[in-house]
């Protein structure tokens, strides 16, 4: 009997070498069986499993402890992120509030600066460089007067225009529609019982800054006061000894200044229907008058060649010289500066601190006549957009000319010409600066030296378009 057989008979394990060999044989058989199983079903499994499943199967699986740690860290990170987001929102809100405060402070500071400059009479907003001349087709022509227009005024809210003419009538026009809102007819001489009205050429008009009162003056030495809304007659002021040539209300009040060919300036209180005082100083018929908020007015002295500033409380006057001819029109630009026009063809800019013009533009509307006998076109009307650098002048050379005032009102530069045929007897800018109104006639408002037959007696509304501002750098 062999040793191996004896060992199996006794139930003992075989020797180490034999046992290891047997175990190796069994493992190889199992591996070969597994490989055969894989080879049989592996092709089908590889076709059905997607790449996502493969990537997931290849990714190492995390233990429960690692997942719990990750969850704890994510919660902490979320809290930190929310806290940072909240702080960032607070910072942005504070920055926006600071910017808003700075913007408001800048606006308030700018407004206060403008108010101070306006009170001192030195405010000069730059708008002229933005103005573009309108096309002739954009100009609206309102016809209703039979004779030459002599004066126009615009209501403070820019909703209506009053025009007066040599036909002794006053017409109230709607700016929006161009239709007549009311007509104050001519008074017929010798007829009793008719409502008060004008019976001679109306030379001037003025409207109070609250739009309540309208004043009109004529060649019959009368000043008529009307309710500007209903056009009903209220009072009649008498006292001038010649034609009333200029009227102006003091802004913010119902104090009325009037001037006349009798060389005087009178002060009235319209609300109380009373006369206040008379001032003298001009040496010839006064042609025009204007006033703003201060208790003073300015006058154009016609043939005496002077512009005068009347200080009402002190009962004193300042006298200015500069034009060579008759000064027929004047307009205040602000409380310290004014513009005037004369029949020598010149336009002048004045400052109250100097007795001579700050700027003088001769032959502002060119020359007329045969070679060697040329004469300048008369400047028959001037207008200024309040507290800005924009000025308009009119003559009878078939155009209204717009001008830009230089820095400190020391220069006058032409901007553009607006074609209008006839005598430009009156010019007024709207309060907003969106349009300019011209009173056009076949004759000059003060006489009949020429007659332009092709002209139409009309009120012209000239739109003023503004060029868009270039975008700011970095916007």
pLDDT tens-digit map of 403-430? 999 988 999 999 999 999 999 999 999 9
Task: For residue 178, give every residue at least 6 positions away whose Cβ sits within 8 Å of its Cβ, in sequence order, or none.
Answer: 140, 142, 461
Q: How far is CA 309 from CA 247, 275, 393, 411, in A?
A: 15, 20, 21, 22
Give the whole-angstrom CA distance, residue 148 versus residue 154. Answer: 18
3-state secondary structure of 306: strand
Structural contact between residues 394 and 424, judged by C-beta atoms closer than 8 angstroms:
yes
What value does the mean pLDDT of the chain take? 84
Please report the pLDDT score of residue 371 as a whole number: 87
111 backbone dihedrals φ, ψ, rounded to 5°: -65, -45
Per the listing, tokens 């010649």 go with 242
Structural contact between residues 308 and 281, judged by C-beta atoms closer than 8 angstroms:
yes
pTM, two decimals, is: 0.75
Residue ranges covered by each domain of the chain: 131-189+196-466
Strand-pairing partners, residue 246, are: 259
- For residue 169, the surrounding DSSP H or E stretch is none
Q: Which two tokens stand for residue 3?
A: 């040793």
Structural contact between residues 421 and 414, judged by C-beta atoms closer than 8 angstroms:
no
Q: Which CATH superfamily is domain 131-189+196-466 in?
A: YVTN repeat-like/Quinoprotein amine dehydrogenase (2.130.10.10)
- For residue 199, the surrounding DSSP H or E stretch is none
Please report the pLDDT score of residue 34 as a whole number: 45
Residue 381 confidence (pLDDT) above 80:
yes
Give the whole-angstrom CA distance, residue 430 versus residue 417. Answer: 18
- For residue 19, the surrounding DSSP H or E stretch is helix 16-48
Per-position b or e across 447-456, b if 16+ CB within 10 A of its CB: eeeeebeebb
pLDDT tens-digit map of 284-321? 999 999 999 999 999 999 999 999 999 999 989 999 99
Give the whole-angstrom CA distance, residue 26 versus residue 270. Answer: 131
Question: For residue 168, which of 190, 153, 188, 182 has the smallest C-alpha distance?
Answer: 188
Task: For residue 431, give every residue at least 6 positions away whose Cβ sits within 8 Å of its Cβ, in sequence order, or none.
Answer: 154, 156, 157, 158, 386
Please report the pLDDT score of residue 78 as a whole number: 81
3-state secondary structure of 393: strand
pLDDT tens-digit map of 96-127? 888 887 777 776 666 666 666 555 555 678 89
């Amino acid at each position: 009997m062999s040793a191996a057989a004896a060992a199996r008979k006794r139930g003992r394990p075989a020797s180490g070498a034999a046992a290891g060999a047997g175990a190796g044989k069994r493992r190889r058989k199992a591996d070969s069986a597994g490989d055969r199983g894989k080879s049989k079903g592996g092709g089908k499994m590889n076709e059905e499993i997607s790449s996502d499943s493969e990537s997931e199967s290849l990714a190492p699986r995390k233990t429960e402890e690692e997942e719990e740690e990750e969850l704890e860290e994510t919660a902490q990170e979320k809290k930190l992120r929310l806290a940072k987001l909240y702080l960032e929102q607070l910072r942005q809100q504070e920055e926006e509030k600071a910017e808003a405060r700075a913007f408001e402070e800048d606006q308030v500071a700018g407004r206060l600066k403008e108010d101070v400059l306006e009170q001192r009479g030195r405010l000069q907003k730059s708008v002229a460089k933005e103005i573009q001349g309108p096309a002739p087709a954009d100009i609206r022509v309102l016809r209703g007067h039979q004779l030459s227009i002599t004066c126009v005024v615009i209501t403070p809210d820019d909703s209506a225009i009053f025009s007066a003419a040599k036909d002794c009538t006053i017409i109230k026009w709607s700016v929006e529609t161009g239709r007549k809102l009311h007509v104050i007819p001519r008074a017929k001489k010798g007829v009793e019982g008719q409502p008060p009205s004008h019976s001679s050429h109306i030379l001037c008009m003025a409207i109070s800054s609250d739009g309540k009162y309208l004043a009109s003056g004529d060649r019959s030495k009368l000043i008529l006061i009307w309710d500007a809304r209903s056009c009903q007659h209220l009072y009649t002021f008498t006292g001038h000894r010649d034609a009333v040539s200029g009227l102006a209300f003091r802004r913010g009040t119902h104090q009325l200044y009037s001037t006349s060919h009798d060389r005087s300036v009178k002060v009235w209180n319209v609300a109380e229907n009373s006369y206040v005082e008379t001032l003298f100083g001009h040496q010839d018929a006064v042609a025009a008058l204007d006033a703003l908020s201060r208790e003073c007015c300015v006058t154009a002295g016609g043939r005496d060649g002077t512009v005068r500033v009347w200080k009402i409380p002190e009962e004193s006057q300042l006298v200015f010289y500069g034009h060579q001819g008759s000064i027929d029109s004047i307009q205040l630009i602000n409380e310290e500066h004014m513009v005037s026009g004369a029949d020598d063809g010149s336009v002048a800019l004045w400052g109250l601190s100097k007795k001579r013009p700050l700027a003088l533009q001769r032959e502002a509307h060119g020359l007329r006549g045969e070679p060697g006998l040329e004469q300048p076109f008369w400047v028959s009307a001037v207008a200024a957009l309040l507290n800005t650098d924009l000025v308009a002048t009119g003559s009878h050379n078939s155009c209204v000319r717009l001008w830009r005032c230089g820095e400190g009102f020391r220069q006058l530069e032409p901007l553009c010409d607006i074609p209008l045929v006839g005598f430009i007897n009156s010019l007024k800018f709207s309060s907003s600066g969106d349009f300019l109104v011209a009173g056009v006639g076949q004759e000059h408002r003060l006489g009949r030296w020429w007659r332009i037959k092709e002209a139409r007696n009309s009120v012209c509304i000239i739109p003023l378009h503004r060029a868009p501002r270039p975008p700011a750098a970095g916007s």
